[in-house]
Chain A
Amino acid sequence: MTFTIGYVCIGLSLIAVVLFFIQQDIYRSLKRFKLGLDERYVQMRSMMHHRMKDANSEVERITEQYNAEHEIRAFQYVKMVIAHSGLKLNGYYFLALSFFMAVFGLLIGWMIGNAWLIMVLPVGFLFLPWMILQWRYKRLQFQYKVLSKEVVSQVSHVYKTSGDMMHSVLYSLDYFPPSYQLLFQQFLKERERISFDYAIENMIKQVHDPNFRLFLNIFKISESLGVDVYQELTMIDAIYEDERDIQEMLKEEMNKHKIESVVLAIIAIVILPAYFVFSPEKVIEILATPWANQIISIGVTMVMVAILMLPSMFNFDME
């Protein structure tokens, strides 16, 4: 009976979490609508007071305008990472997963019976899914960068002889990696319906790599103004080469440490469950002794901290 009540309570609290976030979305959309109405009022006010030339109010107005588009930065960032991590995850599933992990950490803390671990483990376990997600996202970003370097070098190679950006893109389209082929084909389709500027801006919005955004902007400028951009293309190529060199260097330096640290982590994680499997009475005895319990809790905290530190050791972000 108590178990059923417990499960119902946990289910209810999860539904409440999901409801809370959905309701937040509704609230945000209403707020955006309201900001749209307010914009006229703000414009009128700025027209009335334009003689005062108050820089701060102008800053506030424009910042508000941009913030309305990008509310709750952290949530936006999480959504972006989830979208680019290549996992079939929804923001709400991710939140639910993190919440479950935190509850799992809480249960382990309770099992060990230590006040410190009851506080620390839920926090550590809460960040575990995020850590894995970000690690995967960064790995995929590096793979995307390798592909975008290929695209940029091919286009700049053709541009050197032709001097026409559009021609060089169309000429080398067949040699692009498949994902970029799709992106450019979509752009070419859109270009037939809407103007070149809008089509390329849509493409820029889809791309997350800042170097490739730079490349697309160069593309845009050269098409609209007819400026020679060979120097700029070689510059982007050089930036990509720098990043590749750095990543290779990181691999060289850290490959041997990767295996060592993973083995050490597995050893440190496996010992306690192994004790529990082979002699549960001994584990209960250890946990019942105050000083032994405290030493175990310090050890568990150390493992938690080290695991959370590991991904930052094997990643290096040039952006």
Chain B
Amino acid sequence: MFAYVVAFSLVATSCFLLIAVFSSLRISFSFYDQRVKEIRGYVQRYYQRFQEDYVPKNRQVERYDEQLSALQRPLGLNGKRFLVFQFFFTVFTGVFTFQLLSPILFSLDSVTLMMLGWASFFLLLLLLFVFPTVLLRWLIKKKERKVEKQFLYLVHYFQIFLHSGFTPRDIVKRVIPLFPQSFRHQLVRLYAEMQVLSDQEALQRFCDELKTKESHLFYNTILNHMQMGSDSTKSMQDLSRSMRLERKAAAVLAIKKKPFQILFPKMLFVIAALMFVLVPLLLNVYQITNY
């Protein structure tokens, strides 16, 4: 066993040293490759346009692409790469589970048991295949929830700044550093689009992308303020109050669910404890019956 530890630490050491050397090489090269990157960027853009125009797209790949772009492409993943990852993940975990379960699967005697065993194995494979997709959806839902929470603060800031006579563009510029990275990206995009498009159009695009319940109410209020010059403080106050109440109601509901949710870890503890208690007893019984 100790030899394994030694081998493991040797491998870890060499890996880290290799990475260190590799990235210090990157430092020295990074000063010279600006131009190369630029040309590569042009080529990639042309290639992308060509792909968009001529290469038919897979619907699943497109769906993954949309979902990953909503998550700001973690680890530089796109639809195709994610599909490849999903495939390899299924193959590797499938081989591993097959190795674990093969002694049981091949030792089954009756046909019914064998069929049941193999069916459950293929069901497990299917579950493994679906797992990355489910994980992606869960991450997106989590992000949407985060965005909803941050959106409430954005409404508060708009309420305060509009009341003080700032324009929406100034407000967005002032507010960007006050938000966490996850929401800041969207605000930066809004601000950039405000410089290129009109404020109204950029805000509309921003609210469309947010997909929260109140985003359109928010947009209409600011539109009224911009076009009619009306005092939007009261309507913003109402909007923020209703959002706050809704958030509180959702929080109460989530807390009411907690006592049921905690049953799951409790059950896990109980089942695990039962397993630990029963295994020695079962082993005794097994030994007595075998002798």
Encode contact with A along B143-154: 1 for CB under 8 Å, 0 otherwise.
000000100010
Instruction: Chain B residues near A188: list those with CB within 8 A.
Output: none
- A48 within 8 Å of B by Cβ? no
Encode contact with A along B254-291: 1 for CB under 8 Å, 0 otherwise.
11101101101110111111011101101100100000
Q: Which of B252, B272, B283 contacts A300 (CB 8 A)?
A: B272
- B49 within 8 Å of A by Cβ? no
Known interface pairs A13-B13, A257-B262; A296-B6 also in contact (CB < 8 Å): no
Q: Give the docked Cα–Cα distance between A210 and B196 (Å).
A: 30
A264/B269 in contact, CB under 8 A: yes
- A161 within 8 Å of B by Cβ? no
B213 to chain A, nearest CB (A): 18
- B244 within 8 Å of A by Cβ? yes
Q: Which residue of A lies closest to B205 (CB)?
A: A55
- A309 within 8 Å of B by Cβ? yes
Instruction: Chain A residues near B42: list those with CB within 8 A.
Output: none
Number of B residues contacting the other chain (C-beta, 8 Å)? 80
- A242 within 8 Å of B by Cβ? yes
B266/A58 in contact, CB under 8 A: no
Q: From DSSP, what is the main secondary structure of chain B's interface residues?
A: helix
Q: Which residue of A lies closest to B257 (CB)?
A: A253
A272/B276 in contact, CB under 8 A: yes
Instruction: Chain B residues near A17: list those with CB within 8 A.
Output: 16
Q: Give the docked Cα–Cα distance between A148 and B276 (Å).
A: 48
Instruction: Chain B residues near A246: list those with CB within 8 A.
Output: 248, 251-252, 255
**Interface residues in A258-290 (C-beta closer than 8 Å to B):** 260-261, 264-265, 267-268, 271-272, 275, 282, 285-286, 289-290
Q: Give the docked Cα–Cα distance between A2 and B189 (Å).
A: 58
- B227 within 8 Å of A by Cβ? no
**Interface residues in B22-59 (C-beta closer than 8 Å to A):** 23-24, 26-27, 30-31, 34
A250/B276 in contact, CB under 8 A: no
Q: Give the docked Cα–Cα distance between A214 and B156 (Å).
A: 8
- B120 within 8 Å of A by Cβ? no
Q: Which of A20, A257, A260, A300 contacts B20 (CB 8 A)?
A: A20
Q: From DSSP, what is the main secondary structure of chain A's interface residues?
A: helix
Which of A238, A253, A268 has most chain B Cβ within 10 Å? A268
Q: Which of B164, B178, B248, B269 contacts A221 (CB 8 A)?
A: B164
Q: Give the docked Cα–Cα distance between A23 and B19 (Å).
A: 10
Which of B160, B185, B197, B240 has most chain A Cβ within 10 Å? B160
Encode contact with B along A1-22: 1 for CB under 8 Å, 0 otherwise.
0110110011011001101100
Known interface pairs A2-B6, A303-B268; A271-B273 also in contact (CB < 8 Å): yes
B251 to chain A, nearest CB (A): 5
Q: Which of B16, B164, B184, B259 contacts A254 (CB 8 A)?
A: B259
Known interface pairs A10-B9, A296-B276, A306-B272; A62-B23 also in contact (CB < 8 Å): no
- B111 within 8 Å of A by Cβ? no
B71 to chain A, nearest CB (A): 12
**Interface residues in A282-313 (C-beta closer than 8 Å to B):** 282, 285-286, 289-290, 292, 295-296, 298-300, 302-303, 305-307, 309-310, 313
12 A-B pairs besides A16-B13, A115-B100 with CB distance below 8 A are A59-B192, A214-B156, A217-B157, A221-B164, A235-B159, A235-B240, A242-B244, A253-B259, A264-B270, A289-B286, A298-B275, A309-B264
Can you spell out 22 A-B residue pairs with CB atoms less than 8 angstroms apart?
Answer: A2-B3, A23-B24, A24-B23, A31-B30, A55-B197, A59-B189, A59-B192, A62-B191, A110-B1, A210-B153, A214-B156, A227-B165, A246-B248, A249-B252, A250-B255, A257-B266, A261-B266, A268-B270, A290-B103, A292-B283, A296-B275, A306-B264
